[in-house]
Structure 1
Amino acid sequence: MSALFNFQSLLLVILLLICTSTLAHEMMPRVMDRNRHGILGIFWKFARIGERLSPYVSICCILMTISILFGS
């Protein structure tokens, strides 16, 4: 089943994109800041979300892990 049709999988993909983009922005900020516009600007926006809302993203990652481990 595709992640687009399963809501929990879609949320997981978005959380992973946010975390990965934030880490990539920490390691190479010039590359990410150069690509603010266009298709690659999506990753810059995910990095901004991860930087500014990091406590909430962390809580969502923990909740998603719990729901995957103990969910049906």
Structure 2
Amino acid sequence: MSALFNFQSLLSVILLLICTCAYLRSLFPSIIDRNKTGLLGTFWKMARIGERKSPWVGAACLIMACTVLFWS
């Protein structure tokens, strides 16, 4: 089943994208920062969310990990 049709999988994919974009921006800021508009601008926006809301994103990742490990 696709991650688009399963809400828990969709949330997992979004959280992983946010964390990955924020991590890649910390390593290679020029790659993410040059594309602030368009389709590739989505990755820049996810990196900004990961940087500014990092405690909330981290808590969401922990909650998602617990639900995947113990609930599913």
The answer, yes or no, to whether TM exceeds 0.5 is: yes
Which residue does the alignment assign to 2:56?
56
Segments of structure 1 that go 5 or more residues without pairing to the other structure are none
Aligned residues: 72
Rounded Cα–Cα distance in structure 2 between residues aligned with 1:31 and 1:68: 32
Matched, 1:37 2:37: yes
Q: What's the CA shift for 1:45?
A: 0.2
Which residue does the alignment assign to 2:21?
21
Rounded Cα–Cα distance in structure 1 between residues aligned with 2:31 and 2:21: 12
Equivalent AA in structure 2 for residue 44 of structure 1 = W
TM-score (norm 2): 0.97
TM-score (norm 1): 0.97
Rounded Cα–Cα distance in structure 2 between residues aligned with 1:19 and 1:49: 9
SS of the equivalent of 1:13 reads helix
Which residue does the alignment assign to 2:3?
3
Q: What's the CA shift for 1:38?
A: 1.1
Segments of structure 2 that go 5 or more residues without pairing to the other structure are none
